[in-house]
Amino acid sequence: AIERTFSIIKPDAVRRNLIGNILAVFEKNGLRPVALKKIKMTRAQAEGFYAVHKERPFYGELVESMMSGPVVVQVLEGENAILKNREVMGATNPANAAEGTIRKLYAVSVGENSVHGSDAPETAKEEIKFFFTDDEIVG
Ligand code: CMP
């Protein structure tokens, strides 16, 4: 089925001028951006977005890194978009990411792993709503 998922091109990748390269990987794999904007996250946004990780030891580092520079937030649409995006991103830790995936190609470490993507339909819906209004999404 055609689905929508939420994606972030993280500060480490934006800083290294990889926005175009990463979008090209998405598009080549049938994931079309139907909404996209460059923003600098506030502390409230970064903390709220990653609230599920609040108790993790890396939470503070994660929040700081997501606020460390601009990001590109986007809604990707395509066949099986949620799973497809996870495949295209590769494993969270680039050391474990498969050949050809975005994290294998571009990520530096588990903290600077270049992209975020929703892990399930329910989180995709919530994460899209966290950053986009309905009228910003243009199929
Ligand atoms: P992301 O998909 O954005 O979801 C949560 C993020 O936490 C994850 O990608 C990683 O960037 C980050 N993360 C996970 N584990 C660690 C860790 N051990 N140290 C630092 N950051 C981590």
Q: What is the pLDDT of residue 38?
A: 98
DSSP string, 73-114: EEEEEEETHHHHHHHHH--SSGGGPPTTSHHHHH--SSSS-S
Judge whether 53 counts as a catalytic residue.
no
Q: Is the CB of 110 under 6 A from ligand 1?
A: yes
d(CA 77, CA 33): 6
pLDDT of residue 130: 98
Tell whether 58 is in a known binding site. yes
10 touches ligand 1 (CB under 6 Å): no
Residue 139 banded pLDDT, cuts 50, 70, 90: confident
Rounded to whole angstroms, what are the CA distances from 87 to 2, 26, 50, 75, 81? Answer: 16, 11, 21, 16, 10
Q: Is 87 in the pocket of ligand 1 (CB under 6 A)?
A: no
pTM above 0.90, yes or no: yes
Average of per-residue pLDDT values in the chain: 98
Per-residue pLDDT tens for 15-41? 999 999 999 999 999 999 999 999 999
- Known binding residue 104? Answer is no
